Structure 1
Amino acid sequence: MSAPHRFDRGLTDDLMSFLAASPSAYHAVANTAQRLEKAGFRQVAETDAWDAETSAAATSGTGGKYVLRGGAIVAWYVPEGAAPHTPFRIVGAHTDSPNLRVKPVPDLGGHGWRQVAVEIYGGPLLNSWLDRDLGLAGRLTLRDGTTRLVNVDRPLLRVPQLAVHLDRAVNTDGLKLDKQRHLQPIWGLSDDVREGDLIAFLEQESGLAPGEVTGWDLMTHSVEPPAYLGRDRELVAGPRMDNLLSVHAATAALAAVATRSASGDGTLPYIPVLAAFDHEENGSQSDTGADGPLLGSVLERSVFARGGSYEDRARAFAGTVCLSSDTGHAVHPNYAERHDPTHHPRVNGGPILKVNVNNRYATDGSGRAIWAAACDKAGVPFQNFVSNNSMPCGTTIGPITAARHGIKTVDIGVAILSMHSARELCGADDPHLLANALVAFLEG
């Protein structure tokens, strides 16, 4: 393979467009699929037979394929000459972010206000959702069983904070929010709130007939667009960086690797894969989460579609490596004591390698060597992250992937501030540094 592909700040520009266009996991996978389609990938239906007789071009042949399931996508590229036992190189990420999600009976109100009943999804910084202009997006399920994406990307909702005059101790004792009483957004005025008002509004917004929507998966999002920040525009502020930043970088890397391979620019010793799951923020236990069967099913069917046996499957998995790419914590200048004193990742310092000896991250010494080799090949610096011993450590899809599939997994990512806020902060150079390292990893 020739010199590694090199991304630059143009990829960061594209990341901001991707974030703005992906207010939900469903939009994120649709936008990912659109980018892969431009690189020659084609969708494969899980309900179709994956064999040479019925669907050679789509499943068993060479080239790029992807599977969509709800808010998850698995994409892979089979290079020329790949044997059934060829190992995979996987970049894993997740598409969901903490937010406020619409309840089954959404219409709420009182005292002349029209409100929307919401439930807390994941572990958001609740105060970051106050006094912020919010849109509404997600997936509508229609009477015939089909689905339709919806995105009301304008100021529609707002969770108003109590005035300081009515909470005099808020600046000394801290803000205390009751998740049930204090976070229901307003979206208008009415003394006559009726069940069905919100869904009827969304049917109208989507050009659907009244009563056509019978199910929904809806969530709020900040309508403020991503933006460069700082004197030298060296920072990026935006929503859902945890973890669409990784999804975007992995998509760009997979497309670049597939395009180079298809053009005959060298051979690939591995089958590169993108696996972007839903529901990481609440435990990954779903049919579209990393703790579900989706990834294993796709990889196994890929082996068998290329004429492989169970022995080939076992050999392929034994040689497979997964990078679990998720955002991590940059050192916070106002709270440096919360970080490990010898591990202070900085924004624009390159991606981070995450380590936790209690397996909250899946990285071990051999995994570190694989990651270091990829970064060295790409000419990308990397940093180390470990939690302060006095602070609990978060986790990722990494340990889940390693345990469920028996695949060597390494946890990496980009260091950010304000994780789980409605608006997060990263370095403007780190997205393309991550993508460059992922290209080198996928190429092997």
Structure 2
Amino acid sequence: MSDKSSTLSRLINFLNASPTPFHAVTQMKKRLLEAGYQSLDEKDSWILKAGGRYVITRNDSSIVAWQIPKNRLLSESGFRMVGAHTDSPCLRIKPNPELHKLGYFQLGVEVYGGALLGPWFDRDLSIAGRVSFVNDQGALASALIDFTSPVAIIPSLAIHLDREANSGRAINAQTFLPPLLGQAEKKPDFRALLKEQLENAGEKVSSVLDYELSLYDTQSAALIGLQQEFLASARLDNLLSCFMGLEALLQSDSDEGILLVCTDHEEVGSMSAAGAQGPMLEHLFERIQADSESRSRMLAHSIMISADNAHGIHPNFSDKHDANHGPVLNKGPVIKLNANQRYATTDITSSLFRMLAALDNVPVQEFVVRSDMACGSTIGPITSAEIGVKTIDIGVPQLAMHSIRELAGTDDLINTIKVFKQFFKLKAL
């Protein structure tokens, strides 16, 4: 198996095993521990050593892994950081979700993030996430669950009953989206179903208290195209960037200070304890460099690549892009720029990325949103503002962003990993 095939195989396995941020962080931490990283708990005292490699998580949905340089002071060299986010737009199950109508059992859901809702209809859906419960010892516990099998579906209304379905019908998130789970004579107890699922997985459960659960498409990630040049999957935005950062980190032979941070809640603004606008990185850097002057010098030497997928130009809707800034799949990673600081890229950080890409002959593209359209944003400006670190926003171009099934180019992810590996070897600026 070629290196590219092996990487794509690992990626497909990672995407399939990561229906929620909780599962993605579990998968990432497992690989880091297998590679020799030491797990630390934020509640404990730490003793960090030169050359040490460490990993922490917060809320089970955000993760930071870092390496202390062997022969250099962090105040003299800083960190080479790659940042991404673990969450994706989806449908979350409400706290009291049970609906019983005409003998059908359904669940109430709410939309998380800016989901493209149309593709959620008529898909084979399952349920995954984290459940908190009282165990048989009377203690509070939590565990991840994944129903794995298709257990739900959101059926479309037949065209005969909705003649305007192909003419721009709006989707009502409250009334159109409750999924169908089966038929029942009376309203079932959803928490009882969760208790059964937990006990089947070996947990000792007295009572289920609460949960953070999402619906997800059970269709596997897959290679698409006559030459398999595309990858189709759910949650490419932004698990693809998490995977690329992890691959580069694990493959790096750098002795510099390197760091990977993947935070939750980007799709809803990042303002949480586990989000990029929260204090997770700030708290970490305070523990790594307790002296404020040394910490400020460390951050002044540091630089971050904020990796979040970019809007590839769609051949059927090319007018939605600026004609000179329409990235094409498999033509290289994209530098994202915005005059109003929706992206954190500067001419200095952009030039550095181009230099690193040229070391492996990796092509680079640019994205600037049309001047008459609003621009999205990333963790880049947030992180840059929160900790004062030089930042560039980049991403792999993709189509169908925020759909239940997105599309990216296989060459782009391989090339981006190459640039990340060069970045991790970069000496102090």
| 3-state SS in 2 of match to 1:334 | coil
Match of 2:175 in 1: 181
Question: Residues 192-243 of structure 1: CA distance to partner in whole angstroms, max 9, x if unpaired?
Answer: 0144344334334434345432221100110000111111111111110000
| 3-state SS in 1 of match to 2:421 | helix
Please give the alpha-carbon distance, in whole angstroms, between the structure 1 residues aligned to 2:175 and 2:204: 33
Match of 2:73 in 1: 83
Q: Which aligned pairs between 1:261-410 and structure 2 lie closer than 5 A?
A: 261=254, 268=255, 270-304=256-290, 309-410=291-392
Match of 1:8 in 2: 4
Match of 1:35 in 2: 31
| 3-state SS in 1 of match to 2:283 | helix
Q: Which aligned pairs between 1:191-270 and structure 2 lie closer than 5 A?
A: 191-195=185-189, 196-257=191-252, 260-261=253-254, 268=255, 270=256
Deviation at 1:378, TM superposition (A): 3.0
Deviation at 1:361, TM superposition (A): 0.4
Letter in 2 for 1:283: G
Q: Does 214-223 or 284-293 show the bigger shift?
A: 214-223
Deviation at 1:296, TM superposition (A): 1.4
Please give the alpha-carbon distance, in whole angstroms, between the structure 2 residues aligned to 1:200 and 1:168: 43
Q: Does 1:127 align with 2:118?
A: yes
Letter in 1 for 2:323: P
- When the two structures are superposed, what TM-score results if normalisation uses the length of structure 2? 0.94
Q: Which runs of 5+ in 1 are unaligned?
A: 1-5, 52-58, 262-267
Deviation at 1:372, TM superposition (A): 1.0
C-alpha contact (below 8 Å) 2:105/2:188 kept by paired residues:
no
Q: Does 1:72 align with 2:69?
A: no
Deviation at 1:108, TM superposition (A): 1.5
Deviation at 1:114, TM superposition (A): 0.4
1:101 to 1:201, Cα distance in 2 relative to 1, 3 A: farther
Match of 1:168 in 2: 163
- Identity between Structure 1 and Structure 2 (%): 38
- When the two structures are superposed, what TM-score results if normalisation uses the length of structure 1? 0.91
C-alpha contact (below 8 Å) 1:242/1:327 kept by paired residues:
yes
| 3-state SS in 2 of match to 1:409 | strand
Letter in 2 for 1:82: R
Letter in 2 for 1:112: G
C-alpha contact (below 8 Å) 2:249/2:421 kept by paired residues:
yes
1:236 to 1:106, Cα distance in 2 relative to 1, 3 A: same
Question: Residues 372-392 of structure 1: CA distance to partner in whole angstroms, max 9, x if unpaired?
Answer: 121122331111111111111
Please give the alpha-carbon distance, in whole angstroms, between the structure 2 residues aligned to 1:429 and 1:84: 34
Greater relative contact order structure (CA < 8 Å, 6+ sep):
1
Aligned partner of 1:50 among 43, 46, 49: 46
| 3-state SS in 2 of match to 1:157 | coil
C-alpha contact (below 8 Å) 1:75/1:275 kept by paired residues:
yes
Q: Does 1:92 align with 2:57?
A: no
C-alpha contact (below 8 Å) 1:300/1:313 kept by paired residues:
yes
Match of 1:264 in 2: none
How many pairs does the alignment contain? 418
| 3-state SS in 2 of match to 1:421 | coil
C-alpha contact (below 8 Å) 1:28/1:95 kept by paired residues:
yes
Q: Which runs of 5+ in 2 are unaligned?
A: none
Match of 1:62 in 2: 51
Alpha-carbon RMSD: 1.5
Match of 1:54 in 2: none
Aligned partner of 2:409 among 405, 413, 427: 427
Question: Residues 297-356 of structure 1: CA distance to partner in whole angstroms, max 9, x if unpaired?
Answer: 11221223xxxx221101001111110000011110000000011112111111100000
Please give the alpha-carbon distance, in whole angstroms, between the structure 1 residues aligned to 2:3 and 2:38: 24
| 3-state SS in 1 of match to 2:151 | strand
Please give the alpha-carbon distance, in whole angstroms, between the structure 1 residues aligned to 2:282 and 2:5: 35
Letter in 1 for 2:185: D
Please give the alpha-carbon distance, in whole angstroms, between the structure 2 residues aligned to 1:383 and 1:277: 26
